Amino acid sequence: MYSPNTPSSLDANLPRHIAIVMDGNGRWAKARGLERLKGHYEGAEALKRTIQAAVELGIQYLTVYAFSTENWHRPEEEVKGLMVLLRHHLETGLDELIEKNIQLKFIGFYDRIEPDLKKSIDKAVNKTAHNTGLVLCIAFNYGARAEIVEAARQVSEKVKKGELILEDLNEKIFAEHFLTQGLPDPDLFIRTSGVYRLSNYLLWQMAYTEMIFLDTQWPDFKKEDLINAISEYQQRERRFGKISA
């Protein structure tokens, strides 16, 4: 999507959907003799900068991994801190999301989320549901394996009830049962902090996503890093299993 703020060098072939693993908050804090939570606070500031950059560049979908189904195994204080941080930003940032025409979505499981946080999530999602600008998708208590198993369970249930027949099952029907239903697959994946793995993130959806790994710790991530990643993406040839033209 063209935006008047997109640098002209990036105009053509912008990735429609960018997915990010915002990694390195803990190491960023440790390197400065700070508590891990301080790294997450700075990580949230980096996220705000990145959202603004995505809006300015005309990106249509931005999905960020804020809390995984495995992150529950972290110390209780850190888990609680991340929940409080999310709630704080949802409550203090909602007006800005509305003003910037951003549509907020959540992908993740609600089962272990405290009622107060769930209420803030629902409020922000509902109040931005009709916005037509950037779709900001927060993956929170998200895990791709759990998502796939849940989709299989829902599809099986429909087959059992006769609402679907086994022979009709295909990738499209299966994907309609994912938490990401309605979102296009990511074109570009970025992971910060010099770690080269997917960590149970969008495993199905990223079958043909271009991947970029950066050494930068997430709290240091800037608009320039996003622009550089997009430029690198634009130099890649996406073949989707085919051969060059």
**Piece in contact with ligand FPP (CB under 6 A), picked from 83-91, 110-118, 163-171, 221-229:** 83-91
| Candidate list 19, 86, 206, 229; residue touching ligand FPP; CB under 6 A | 86
Question: Which lies closer to ligand FPP via its Cβ, residue 55 or residue 66?
Answer: 66
What gap in Å lies between CA 56 and CA 165, rounded to an integer?
Answer: 45
| Candidate list 6, 25, 103, 120; residue touching ligand FPP; CB under 6 A | 25
Q: How far is the CB of 91 from ligand FPP (least distance, A)?
A: 11
Please state, as a whole number, how many other Cβ atoms lie within 10 Å of the Cβ of residue 93: 18
Q: What's the start-to-end Cα distance of the chain, in Å? A: 25
| 115-117-120 Cα angle (round to 5) | 110
| Candidate list 10, 18, 20, 22; residue touching ligand FPP; CB under 6 A | 22
What gap in Å lies between CA 55 and CA 100, rounded to an integer?
Answer: 8
Q: Site mask, ligand FPP, residues 140-179, x = CB under 6 A?
A: ----------------------------------------
23 an active-site residue? Answer: yes
| Candidate list 10, 20, 37, 44; residue touching ligand FPP; CB under 6 A | 44
Give all strands (DSSP E) within the chain, no chain letters.
17-21, 61-68, 103-107, 135-142, 188-191, 210-213
Tokens 């998502």 belong to residue: 147
Residues at the site binding ligand FPP, with contacts judged by CB under 6 A:
22-27, 40, 43-44, 47, 66, 71, 85-86, 89, 138, 193, 218
